[in-house]
Each structure stands twice: as C-alpha cells, then as structure tokens.
Structure 1
Amino acid sequence: MKHLFQNQENKLDEVLFQGRNKAYGAYVLRNEADSILTKSMFIGIGAFVLFALVPIVSNYFADAPITVVEPPHGPIVLDNVDQSEETPQVVQPVVPPQVKVNTLDSRVPDPTRDAKNEKVMPKQTDYDHAVAGTQDVVGESPVSNYVPPAIDAPVVTTPDVPNAKPVDNTPKTAVDVSAEFIGGINAFRNKVVSNFDTSAMDGSGEVVKTTVTFIVEKDGTISEVKASGPNAIFNREAEKTIRSVRGKWTPAKLDGENVRSYFKFPISMQLE
C-alpha cells in the first residue's frame, strides 16, 4: 500500500528527466507547480479579505460629525399692536319697496262629490300679465328685468355668387337624345302585349287603336300615363298595362343633362 501514497506524477517526471538537466526549466516548473498555485490562492484570498475589511474599519474609527446649535442673539421682544378706537359703521340693508304684483291662484282643488262652488282654473293667456300664486291679488303686472348678454358674433362675409340658372323641370318634346326603355322598345312592346287583359272587352273582330302618352322622369320611371282613343275601356286597360310593366327607362338628354320628356306609344289590337 506504500506505493499509493507516493506522488505518481513526480515519479513519472523522474523517469522522463532521467539523465537530463534538472537544475532549471520544465523539471523545476512541474515540481513547483503545486506550491505556486497554493501560494497564489492564499494571496488572492488575503487581498479580497483586505479590500472587504478596509471600509468597515474606516467607518468604525471615523468620528461622528458634531452639530453645534448656536443660541439666538438676544431675547425676542413682541410689540403690542395698537387697537383702533373707532367703531365700524353698521351698514343697514336697503329694503326694496313692496309692490303688489298680479297673482293668480293656481292651486288645483281636491275633487269632492257635489261641489257647491266649482273653481275655474285660469287660462294660459291669463298668465301673460300675472304670476302663479296661492291667491288672487290685484296689482301691477310682473316685469322681467332680464337682459340677454351681448354676443360678439364674427362678421361673416359671403362671396358674391352669380345668379344661379333656374331649374327648368317641364317635360320636353324636343331633346338631343330620346328616352329609351332599358332592353329596347321591342322588349317593352312584348311586355305590353303579354300583360294586356282583353277579357273586359267584347270581341267584334274590329281593330281597336289608341295612343298612350306618358312622361319619362329623370330617374327612369314613368308618370302621367294617359291614353287617347275612341274606346274608353280599351284606353283604361292600356293605361293600366303601361303602369304595370316592370323595368326602367334611360331618360332623355338635353345639352348633356337628364331631362323629363314625353313619350308616345301607339297600341292597336284586333279583338275577336
């Protein structure tokens, strides 16, 4: 067991440096490495402890500052304040003169059965020259002294606007672009024929004619539908059919703007 307590590293160094110079160089450094590391560790610990103890020791031996409070120079003398001998004047409040004001009894009586003297409540116009109260008093009409505050409103100057052109909303008979049913006039004619109800008229084999005049508005709707023909029943059914047609129109144009315009639509049918 003796060989376990021997320094194996030193034994290896003896083998490596056998027959070589052992006075200096690597052999000396390897043998003294442990002692050098141990000394360095203790020196570092000592330096750390020294730096830590320096502020503690300096605070312990430092003298506490002494604050010297100097007494005030001489006694403090308070002078008496002279009291005014004049008594203040007592201002009497100004009591405005009592003026009787027209007052109307505005109390609502309690409802009772078989009232002997039924009270008539004052009208709203009666309060124009009187105020509401608990009894009727004859006097002067109430006067309101309220003056509205003056408000300095900024002066706003409106620029001169040229006279606007008056809007002419009358239906036109002469236009640059005529009104047209969206989908074409043939589509409109087919809808009129398919929606026309001839059951209310007697079929005599003759051809019945009428001309329906209406106004195409600026938004594409129609208004003021009127049929002119010799048969009143046929005219009435033609107006009803024109109003029932679904769809809108492209309004007429005059000088590049949409305008109201007249449109004439002839209808002829042979009733059998």
Structure 2
Amino acid sequence: MSRLSIYETPWIDLVFENRNKNYGAYQLRRESVKSTLSAFFMGLLFVASIGTIATVISYFNSDTIVVENPAQEWSDPIQITDVVLTDVHKTVIPEVKTQVAATIIQKDQLINPVIVHAEEAIKELATNIENKNTTSITSDALGTVGTNPITATGTETEISKAVNYGTSIVNTTILDKLPEFPGGMKNFYTYVGKNFEKPEIDGMSNLKVYVSFVIEKDGSMSNIKVLRDPGYGLGQEAIRVLKSIKAKWTPGIIDSKPVRTAYNLPISIEMR
C-alpha cells in the first residue's frame, strides 16, 4: 500500500492536474504544512510571553504587607485577686403567735318550765320528700330486658280516708302493690325480646324506643303509645309486639282495690 501523503506535492499536482491551480485551494494545500508549523510556534511564543510578563510583575510587586493596628502585646501579667464571699445575715422574722379567743357558749336554761298534758302535745312526723321512685326498664333484641321496677317507699304524714280512683290512671309510685305479669316480669321481658323483629340497618349499633301503656283493672293492656320513635319502623314494631300479648296482668292495687296503672317502657335494640 502506498505511503504517499495527501499533503505532498506530487499528490497535490495529481489532484489538481488539468485544473485551475491559481485557485486558492491549490495554494492552501501546498502551504498547509508551513502554515501549521507557523501557527504552532506562534502559540508557544504567546504562552511563553504571558508567563514571562506575569513573573516580572510579581517580582516588582513583592512588597512586605504591613498589618495596621497589630494586636496589643501585654507586657505585664494579669493578676487574679481572690474574692472572699462574706455570709449574708438573714433577718429573722419573729413568729406571730395567733391568739385564739375562747368563745363562751352560753346555754339557755329553762326558767319556770310549763308542764302540759300529753293530749296537748303536737306530734310531728318526719316527711320523706327526698325519696323519689323511678322505674327503669330496658330491652334488647335478644329477649333480655334491664332491671325490675322499684317499689315506692315513703312515710305518710296523715292517714286519709280511702280514695275512689274510679277510671283515673295512676302512677306506680302510689300503688300498694305493683302490677304483675304471669310468670314474673322476666317472662314479659323475654316475650318482648323474642318477638321483636329488628330491621337491617347499616351503621347503627344501638337504638331505643320509648313506649307507654295502661294496665287496666282487668289486667289487659290499653292505650299503647310510642313516646319516642327513632324511626326505621321500630315504633310500629314495638306497638305490634305489645298488642300481641294475650296474657293478662294482675292489676295494681291501692287500698285493696284494682286501679288503672300507667307504665313507661324503654326498649333497647342492639343491631348486630
């Protein structure tokens, strides 16, 4: 393989044979080596000149830098004097003795007491006004219902004659004997719980329906009402269950006579 360079004269003459050699391309080809070497040496000379100039400038500007206001030098050592702390005497405040004045309680003495006969003495009877009776009944959908009703207690201030209540509806607090369901209140709660059909409600855990009814003199249930209905058909279901009870109660008694008794019943439904 030929080692002929494209920048040699024979090769250039071959390329530009029968062509216009006066054109700039021919001259550039022939003088390319010379131009390259000239540019290289000129670059070296330029770099050397810059380095020389920088060295000369640094030589002439190498003056000593003087720092103004040098730090003051301490010629004498600092002496540390021991400080003696003296005890501060606190002023003692004398204790103030509190003098408690003795209060003399004078007891009233009976002067010339008057004796009266026993018939003239007024007999005062204590009245129990703080004892209030509450009836709390709860029921859930599984057939268990809360606590048993509480029997009214108290002290009468007077012995009055028997009152004929007739068709009046009375509260359980004044009864001599509470109404009783056949088999006890437990059977009543169980019946309500087993027969109560709860709806399927999402997002609800516990709901309460408050109902009221009247136990008649013959033991039947009447005036069944919903006092507080949470909705979802629970009030209607509570009325349906209470009306389905066929068993009769033993009515409430006052002075050995049956009376119409009002009952309030909260029914609690647990949604599971």
**How high is the TM-score relative to the length of structure 2?**
0.37
Greater relative contact order (Cα 8 A, min sep 6): structure 1 or 2? 2
Q: TM-score, normalised by structure 1?
A: 0.37
